[in-house]
A and B are shown apart, each in its own frame.
Chain A
Amino acid sequence: MSIQIDHVTKKFGNLEAVKDVTLEVKTGEFFTLLGPSGCGKTTLLRSIAGFNQPEKGEIYFNKKRVDKIATHKRGIGMVFQNYAVFPHLNVFNNVAYGLKARNFSADEIQPKVSRALQMVRLAGMEDRFPNQLSGGQLQRVAIARALVIEPQVLLMDEPLSNLDAKLRVEMRSEIRELQQSMKITTLYVTHDQEEALSISDRIAVMNHGVVEQMGEPWEIYNTPVNRFVAGFIGTTNFFEGTLISEQGGQGIVQVSEIKMKVSAHSPCVGEKVSFAIRPEAFKVAQEITEAERSCFLSLPGRVNKVEYLGFMTKYDLELCRGLSVKVVSYDVLPQHLRKTGETIELCYDPQRVLIC
């Protein structure tokens, strides 16, 4: 079952929460709507679920228009941020709830519920009541309850945001495995970029009600189309300067007091350029080869701050007055560690510069 969203606009009063969004989720795909809070991702998900009615646009499940159909007839499964497990029903009856609504007989319900609970590793918990379960277990009940009705579309609204960090990482890979084994079309909403990158087939990054970029996780990370996406996904250093020369696709940009190399492709000499470099795209001192040193422009940086995290080290470096960059260096040997006030030589491949 695929989902087509065709020019959907949803307003709350004068506020356009979702502005003319068009996207398609392919059959069996794990698709994530990613964005800061208030970007419209949950509103869009709720439009697809039918909890709100878009002012404009159409929504299709497999070419069949559904936006005028009541929620309970859309055949969706939904997992909520705060679990929404019925407090007056035990685990078994929570999971059986949707099956009963579909008039399955007790003989059919029993094995289906057992299988669903096994899937989320809650077998044997049938008689527990929600107030006896932990947050992680509640979310498993909610997932089992949504999956047992074999929905054609699974909608998940920040399902992990109420869990603690460790459990979140565990659960997200479980969700991914479940989704893969059932081949269920899934639309997932989160504000956590790491979660989105790790779990999704494709991601739509949203901001202020519009989709800024759509693509596979590596595309979103490595080739952000604009400053918002570059800044929202991962950490980035932004630079602004003037292109002072250009030769064979390589440009030199005057940024404050220093010159930086970029692989320019658009602006003409004399024009303003803004670009971004990821912290891990920088190479530090001893990592730089002779070939790189001769080919790329190397920069001296004064260490303002060091954060030693074991497997990696974060530096705040000052390239010149008023221009600092964040640099990440992995697996630094003790003799290469630099202290505050010392100077480090930096280098980067202009190919990894993101023009934006």
Chain B
Amino acid sequence: MKSRFWSLTTILIFLIFFFFMILPVLNLFTGSFQTQEKGAFTLQNYLSFFHYPSYWRSLWNSILIGLISAAGAMIVGVPMGYMVSRWNVMGKSLIVTLSTLPLMLPTFIAAFAWVILLGRGGIITKFLQTWGIHIGSIYGYPGMILVFVSQLYSYVFLMTLSGFSAVDESIEEAGCSLGSSQLRTFWTVSLPLVLPTILSGAILTFMSAIENFGVPMIIAQQTPNLVVKAYIEFTSEVGTHPGMAYTLSIFLILITMASLVAQRYYLSKRNFIQAARGKPKVKQLTPGKRLLASGIIYAFLIFTLIPFFVALVLSFMEMRGPVFYPRFSLQSYVYAFSRSARPIFNSYFLATISTLVAVLIGVPTGYILTRRKSAYSNALDIVIMLPFVIAGTILGIALITFFNQGWIVLTGTWVILVLSYVIRKMPFIARSSASILYQLDPSLDEASISLGVSPMKTFYKVTFRLMMGGVVSGAILSWVTIISELSSTLVLRSPSWSTMTVEMYQGVVSDDLGKAAAFSSIMIISTVIPLLLATKYFSKDKGGGILL
């Protein structure tokens, strides 16, 4: 009976993913080979793609920005990870907490704040101009790279940190005992051991950067990337080219898929890091050097958090149009709320419902992946990896196209928003549940059963209890990322189901900066408070849980 329960659950999860993700994406794929009117086979979209520079340049922009951002994240993240792992810098757990914040906070708020500071009419730009200093434009590559490196470096940093902390001390000692200097040992032993882990982090940065929608929308301007281009082709008021949007989506999926395959099948096989028996030695720096190293790290952490302080401060300022005046005022909040508090309610409602559904499906999936291993569970493992390679915007386009007509029409409802969130967050819950279950010894279940407790009750009394902490913190992280989700929301929302992110985004594009700042601040608060609660109560699963 119990095996039938799990088979049915497996089938159900397959059906959900097949119907709400695979079919819509396949539909997108076939759509890219069809003419707009009659649906006849055509290669026109692909020919146009390679013919018009505005299309193939967007591909080039995506790749280049992704690569530069990943390289930048390594330049910052690797030394920082090494220092926190091996030197006695101050407040290590504080550093880790502060470094995870930019990953959780909405990146487009950072883009927005940097534009306010360094944009054409930016506060710093103008200030410098009065002194006769002209800084270059931050629109395009510089701005995007600035935002991506400062918001996504943590993928590399956290991976490097855990990598260097897991190298067995005796391996490095062996290097030194064989006559290799400390520096040489670092280059020939430690770094090669940790490199696959570092590169995994870099690939995560690369993927996040090229799947990101909000940042290029705000700051890219003349150098749109694939996601932005696909969105514009899909929604343009001048005349839409859905076929072209599908084609651009396919290119994006191909890149992200290649990255994920590289990460999963190449790097993870070269993962030499094992649970260290002897923790590596922490170097005791002289007080002066210690202060210097800590100072550099904290200065960078503060730098990455500046945009969020700026957004908070601006939201309490008086403003007229796009100009802020340095006087305290609640005007922006009054204005934002007076029109409608609905977006706030919508964000909370959608995030809560979606998280609950994602947990409801994700936890059993994690259980199937670890405890009910079979050919089906392996297939399931691959299927739930797919949402990682489909950017939010692309999934949005796929869902809205597929459920626009036919027997189930969901376009324009809140259900389609929940669907897209669940599809994207459920794999995350499943993975974190699976990783908890991997650590739980199956003989705990058996011990309980042997003591006379039925398998069903055992699941509740033992397995579930032990998983709960991890599941709750995973759920909180999902909730927080849904609150700050913009890419698929912008495609899928209907006027009555607008969210905080959409309002904030529209504030930015319509130069209604007070509104943008107010919604940004509410979002920051809604993100930081649950995160702090999560780290306080479930601090065991920090860092690792946030990453794939």
A residues touching B (Cβ–Cβ < 8 Å)? Answer: 49, 51, 70-73, 75-78, 80-82, 84-88, 97-98, 101-102, 142, 145-146, 149, 155
Nearest residue (CB) in A for B444 is A84
Q: What 17 new A-B contacts, CB under 8 Å, besides A49-B450, A88-B465? A: A51-B449, A70-B455, A72-B451, A72-B458, A75-B452, A77-B451, A78-B446, A78-B450, A80-B447, A81-B443, A82-B441, A82-B443, A84-B443, A86-B444, A87-B444, A87-B466, A98-B452
Taking the closest CB of chain B, its distance from the CB of A157, in whole angstroms, is 8
| Among B444, B446, B447, B448: residue with most chain A CB under 10 A | B447
Known: A86-B462, A87-B466. A76 touches B441 (CB 8 A): no
**A87-B466, A88-B465, A88-B466 are known contacts. Are A101 and B451 too (CB-CB below 8 A)?**
yes
Chain B positions 444 through 477: 1 when the CB is less than 8 Å from some CB of chain A, otherwise 0: 1011111111110110001001100000000000
State whether B454 touches A97 (Cβ < 8 A): no
B424-453, CB < 8 A from A: 441, 443-444, 446-453
Minimal beta-carbon separation of A135 from chain B (angstroms): 14
Distance in Å: Cβ of B366 to nearest Cβ of chain A: 18
A145, B451: Cβ atoms closer than 8 Å: yes
Contact: B443 with A80, CB < 8 Å? Answer: yes
Cβ of A88: which chain B residues have Cβ within 8 Å of it?
462, 465-466
Contacts of B462 in A (CB 8 A): 86, 88
- For B455, give its contact among A72, A80, A81, A142 (CB under 8 Å): A72
CB distance from A44 to the nearest CB of B (A): 16
Inter-subunit contact A149/B452 (CB<8 Å): yes
> How far is B446's CA from A76's CA once the two chains are assembled, in angstroms?
12
B441 cross-chain contacts in A, Cβ below 8 A: 82, 84
Please give the distance in Å from A126's CB to the nearest CB on chain B. Answer: 18
Closest A-B pairs by Cβ, 4 of them: A98-B451, A78-B450, A84-B447, A84-B443
Q: State in angstroms the CA–CA spacing of A97 and B444 once bound together.
A: 12
* 20 A-B pairs in the complex with CB atoms less than 8 angstroms apart: A49-B450, A70-B454, A71-B446, A77-B450, A78-B446, A81-B443, A82-B443, A84-B443, A87-B466, A88-B462, A97-B448, A98-B452, A101-B451, A101-B452, A101-B457, A145-B447, A145-B451, A146-B451, A149-B451, A155-B450
CB A158 to nearest CB in B, in angstroms, measures: 11
Please count the residue pairs between chain A and chain B whose beta carbons lie under 8 angstroms apart in the complex.
65
Chain A contacts for B451, CB-based, 8 A = 72, 77, 97-98, 101, 145-146, 149
Question: Which residues in A have their C-beta under 8 angstroms from that of B453?
Answer: 72, 97-98, 101
Q: B466 CB to closest chain A CB, in angstroms?
A: 6
Residues of B within 8 A of A (CB): 441, 443-444, 446-455, 457-458, 462, 465-466
Chain B residues whose CB sits within 8 angstroms of the CB of A75 once the complex forms = 452
* Cβ contact within 8 Å between B449 and A72: yes
Question: How long is the Cα–Cα vector from A49 to B6 in the complex, in angstroms?
Answer: 23
Cα–Cα distance between A81 and B443 once the two chains are bound (Å): 9
- Contact call B449/A71, Cβ cutoff below 8 A: yes
Q: Most chain-A CB neighbours within 10 Å: which of B452, B455, B457, B466? A: B452
Q: Which residue of B lies closest to A71 (CB)?
A: B449
Q: Once the chains bind, are A72 and B452 in contact (CB under 8 Å)?
A: yes
Which applies to chain B's interface (DSSP): helix, strand, loop or mixed?
A: helix
For B441, B451, B453, B458, the residue with the greatest tally of chain A CB atoms inside 10 Å of its CB is: B451
- Give the CA-CA distance A73 to B230 in the complex, in Å: 61
Please tell me which one of the listed residues A51, A85, A87 contacts residue B446 in the complex, with CB atoms under 8 A apart.
A51
Q: For the complex, what is the distance from the CA of A71 to the CA of B462, rounded to whole Å?
A: 16
> Which residues of chain A are near B452, meaning CB under 8 Å?
72-73, 75, 98, 101-102, 149
Given contacts A86-B462, A88-B465, A88-B466, contact A76 B444 (CB under 8 A): no
Task: State in angstroms the CA–CA spacing of A131 and B377 once bound together.
Answer: 33
Bound-state Cα–Cα, A88 to B463, Å: 10
Quote the shortest CB–CB distance from B478 to chain A (angstroms): 24
Residues from chain A with a CB closer than 8 A to the CB of B465 are 88
In the assembly, what is the distance between CA of A80 and CA of B449, in Å? Answer: 12
Q: Are A72 and B466 in contact (CB under 8 A)?
A: no
Cβ contact within 8 Å between A76 and B450: yes
The CA-CA distance from A84 to B441 in the complex, in Å, is 7
Min CB gap A323→B, angstroms = 42
Report the minimum CB–CB distance from B505 to chain A (whole Å).
44
How far, in angstroms, from A142 to B451 measured CA to CA in the complex?
Answer: 11
- B450–A72 touching, CB < 8 Å: yes
Chain B residues with CB under 8 A of A78: 446-447, 450
- For the complex, what is the distance from the CA of A72 to the CA of B456, rounded to whole Å? 11
B361 to chain A, nearest CB (A): 25
Most chain A Cβ neighbours within 10 Å, of B446, B455, B466: B446
On chain B, the residues within 8 Å of A51 by CB distance are 446, 449
For A82, the chain B residues whose CB sits under 8 A away are: 441, 443
**A152 → chain B closest CB, angstroms:** 12
Q: How far is the CB of A319 from chain B (nearest CB, A)?
A: 44
How distant is the Cα of A71 from the Cα of B448 in the complex, in angstroms? 10
Which B residues are in CB contact (< 8 Å) with A86?
444, 447-448, 462
Chain A residue numbers with a CB within 8 Å of B448 are 86, 97
Chain B hits for A155, CB < 8 A = 450
Which residues from B are CB-within-8-Å of A77?
A: 450-451
How far apart sit A101 and B451, CA to CA, in the bound complex (Å)? 8
Minimal beta-carbon separation of A161 from chain B (angstroms): 13
Contacts of A85 in B (CB 8 A): 447
Contact residues in B for A145 (Cβ distance below 8 Å): 447, 451
Question: How long is the Cα–Cα vector from A146 to B458 in the complex, in angstroms?
Answer: 16
Nearest to B457 among chain A residues (CB) is: A101
Bound state CA distance, A77 and B451, in angstroms?
A: 6
CB distance from B452 to the nearest CB of A (A): 4
Q: Please give, as numbers and ranges, the residues of chain B lying within 8 Å of A87 by CB-CB distance.
A: 444, 466
